[in-house]
Chains A and B, each alone.
Chain A
Amino acid sequence: MAVEIDRSKCIYCGACVATCPHLALRLNEVYIETFDDKCVSCGLCIKACPMGAIKFKK
């Protein structure tokens, strides 16, 4: 499992990046890049996202 970001909701504020203990997300200029190999599916970024734009991949 890993997370996916709804780009129509994401405002690339970086809150998820700040909160991910595994540096599995990265803020680029206008989008968040996710690294599935680093993600441990802890869900912290999902709680952190102020826009509710992140969910677990099915």
Chain B
Amino acid sequence: MDINYDYPKIHDSYDVVIVGAGPAGALAAREASKKGATVLVLDRRKELGAPVRCGEGLGAKYIELFHLNLSPNAVSSNINGARVIAPNLKDDIIIKTKETKGYVLDRKVFDKDLAKDAARAGAQVVSKCDVYDVIKEGDKIVGVRYIINGQRKEVRSKVVIACDGAESVIARLAGMKDATSTLYDTDYGVEYEMVNVKLQDNGKDFSDLIEIFFSNELSPRGYTWIFPKGHDVANVGVGIGGLHTPNAVHYLNEFIVDSRIKHRFEGASIVSLKGGAIPVGAPVSEFVKNGFMVVGTAAHQVDPIHGGGIGLAMNAGRIAGEVAGDAVKDNKFDAKTLEAYKTQWYGEEWDKFNKRLMLRKVLEKLNDDDLNHILSTLDQSDIDAVLCGKFMNSITKVTLKRPQLLKVLTVLMNM
């Protein structure tokens, strides 16, 4: 007998059809349902959240902000700050602010918790259901085509919300060309979840810090990371700019045997392999079409510095879900109506996002000697000032011995 994947029965039409039950899709589904819309969420995977494809970091504010109803094991570890390490793997700075408080999640639990909340709000969530095309009528998107139990079917909708992650196939099928990831604006990452990792070094404890290694040698145009997941477990990964060779796994394998750091991985085992594309450029130009929205990593709404996408995805999902819910009430689904989502997103996120894009451009211009110099020169009070947006002191200090850095760093002063 067949497994009843098609339970409860999928109807022929819904107000809102959401493709992808990650953080973006789950929040969009929850909010649209709360507004009274009928919502269907389709996800290709048999188990939501798996396979995991990211470092699993999330800022602390989001759980409260979005009233997330999480199981205790959705969070693997609490993070109090970030340790940024110089290319020499010696000099470092530690950043601890309200902004750097956060969690390393267990996405397999977290994503399912979010989907459960969406379902409790009234959305119908269907896993192992593969959306392979959108249905167009003239210049409108009016539904999607999917495969379930080996059968091809269609479902009609007033609004389709594409939340299918970095691949962003649905937005591209809907005609959004710049949803394709380009080698220039994408980091390609690979990550080992490891056990028996030493989260202490030189008598210092880093088990409540995410460790970030900026280095053109170790991870050109990206970064290397160690995210602690409790006790002796950590996500250890590398993301590199797409124009660089060889492939990311080469850099990760070099990192864990690097003579300067290998003592932290001696005796460690790899219990999980993850990877993926991380859009780190600007968001896609169009967020909506008639009857269509694109949200989260699919819309390249990813932090350009650390590549984190979960918080941005949830906020964009919340906005899109609310706008879709209102559109259903008003019975208007044209791009102009749905554009309210883009307007609100830009109002809430763009100022910070744009600054991060500029900061990325600054970081890219620094070579490893510059980074070593900066991280060995600045002390904790400088970092605290920079975090408050006061760059002048640090820039003066850094450029005293390396005046050539002034040109690059002046960008920061205008931020």
A residues adjacent to B (C-beta < 8 A)? 11-15, 17-21, 23, 26-29, 44, 47-52
Contacts and interface: CB of A to CB of B under 8 A. Distances in A.
Closest 10 CB pairs of A and B: A50-B248, A13-B275, A52-B247, A50-B190, A15-B277, A18-B277, A18-B181, A13-B276, A17-B167, A18-B166
B5 to A, nearest CB: 12
A interface SS class: loop
Instruction: Output the residue of B166, B167, B242 with the most chain A CB within 10 A.
Output: B167
B45 interface: yes
A6 B168 CA distance: 23
A18 B46 contact: no
A52 B166 contact: no
A50 B243 CA distance: 12
Instruction: Output the residue of B45, B166, B246 with the most chain A CB within 10 A.
Output: B166
B172 interface: yes
B26 to A, nearest CB: 19
B275 A51 contact: yes
27 contacts: A11-B274, A13-B190, A13-B275, A14-B53, A14-B167, A15-B275, A15-B277, A18-B167, A18-B168, A18-B276, A19-B182, A19-B183, A20-B180, A23-B173, A44-B183, A47-B183, A48-B186, A49-B247, A50-B188, A50-B190, A50-B247, A50-B248, A50-B249, A51-B190, A51-B248, A52-B249, A52-B250
Interface string B258-283: 00000000000000011111010000
A27 B45 CA distance: 10
A11 B167 CA distance: 15
Contacts of A51: 190, 247-249, 275
Contact of A47 (B51, B190, B242, B249): B242
Contacts of B188: 15, 48-50
Contacts of A50: 188-190, 247-249, 275-276
Given A11-B273, A15-B277, A23-B172, A52 B181 contact: no
Contact of B242 (A11, A17, A20, A48): A48
B44 interface: yes
B169 interface: yes
Nearest to B177: A21
Contacts, number: 89
B113 interface: no
Contacts of B247: 47, 49-52
Given A19-B242, A48-B183, A29 B46 contact: yes
Contact of B181 (A11, A12, A19, A49): A19
Instruction: Output the residue of A18, A26, A28, A29 with the most chain B CB within 10 A.
Output: A18
Contacts of B250: 52
B183 A13 contact: no
Contacts of A23: 169, 172-173
